[in-house]
Amino acid sequence: MQVTHCRSYQEMSDLAASLVLEEMLKKPKLLLCAATGGSPEGLYRELARTARRERSLFNQLRVMKLDEWGGVPAYYPVTCDFFLKKKLLEPLGIPADNYISFASDPEDPEAECRQIRSRLKKEGPIDICILGLGRNGHLGLNEPGPQLEPFCHVAELSEASLQHGMIASLDRKPKYGLTLGMQEILSSRKIIMLVSGKEKKQVAKAFLEKKISTSLPASFLHLHPDVECLVDQTILN
């Protein structure tokens, strides 16, 4: 893992955008797995700024959603789908055919996960996976616990995840999570891990100690051969 300490959130976002664009120049049709939340938002803003100047760069880009809040109606503005469409897909002009997603409120969540597994098996592996460090060390919605799931699955949400800023204001919290599994994430050709947010100071320090544990799912990234970990240094001060 290559760890880069950035002087600010903006510097972290700029560097992440340059890494994505560098890979896109090599493979315009790459599959980008996209996380949501505050950590990658600046990266998506920079990609959108580039798209306003050079829209054609993104004509072939494929995007896959990393995770979703389960049991939440699709039209709610707190869904990961809503976030990605507003922050990434629409600004970059990504057509529906180039977006791999799963429903936030499926009739059969297990079947929805099987559909995603099948789609990823057909169209993957992921070329670049954008990740943020969860406040309890989760990766996607792979929560800390005695064991981790390898493939897309229905996840029981931890109390920390239920306090996430995207859903903190909801009276009725998500009933479960839908997320890619650890094997699918670790099979990505390249991973860009973004570490930001003052509330993550302690978990960020634990993550950077490079000790592997299912109690800190993000620690498994230390086993991957090509991870760019960008740290907003201001959160560690």
Annotated active-site residue in 68, 105, 112, 143: 143
DSSP bridge partners of 153: 179
Our answer to whether residue 222 is catalytic in this structure is no
Annotated active-site residue in 136, 142, 164, 184: 136
Contact, 6 vs 204, CB < 8 A?
no
Distance spanning both ends of the chain, measured CA to CA = 22
d(CA 71, CA 96): 22
| Helices of type H across 27-76 | 38-53
In this structure, are strands 176-179 and 153-155 parallel, antiparallel, or unpaired?
A: antiparallel
Our answer to whether residue 143 is catalytic in this structure is yes
- Give every CB contact of residue 27 below 8 A, 6+ residues apart in sequence: 127
Our answer to whether residue 184 is catalytic in this structure is no
Annotated active-site residue in 67, 81, 127, 232: 67
Annotated active-site residue in 41, 81, 112, 138: 138
- Per-residue DSSP letters for 179-204? E--HHHHHTSSEEEEEE--GGGHHHH
DSSP bridge partners of 231: 5, 195
Our answer to whether residue 98 is catalytic in this structure is no
So which residues are the catalytic ones? 67, 136, 138, 143
